[in-house]
Amino acid sequence: MALKMIRRPPRTLASRIRPPVKLTDPFYQSAGWRALAADIKRQRRYRCEACGSDFSRRADKLIADHIVERSAGGAEFDPLNIQCLCIACHNRKTAKARKARKARTAGTAGG
């Protein structure tokens, strides 16, 4: 895969200090989502599905994450579209997704 220089928009710094989406998006505060997220974490035994770390003693550090992002049309309440990720793995995934989005909007056909 060819690496591509990514032009950084001028608001990079602002977007870095912006609070995570989950704090601002009312969807993540909804009772329906919170109940489903708690259920899924329990069912999957509080493990990060990317690195396998055990979060049974600190479930609040585990994130129920949409595999296909809601903004990309991913199902909001489908357990098959939800994975448990620790914060580190979630950040990695988010960074990757952001890069992929930029590559797409730059007109790259990468995959």
Residue 51 interacting with Zn ion (CB under 5 A): yes
Count of residues of this chain found to bind Zn ion when the rule CB under 5 A is applied:
5
CB of 75 to Zn ion, least distance (A): 22
82 burial type by CB count under 10 A (0-12 exposed, 13-18 middle, 19+ buried): buried
Going 60 to 65 to 70 to 71, the CA torsion angle's sign is positive
Residue 62 interacting with Zn ion (CB under 5 A): no
Residue 37 interacting with Zn ion (CB under 5 A): no
Quick one: tokens of 65?
Answer: 């994450």
Residue 48 interacting with Zn ion (CB under 5 A): yes
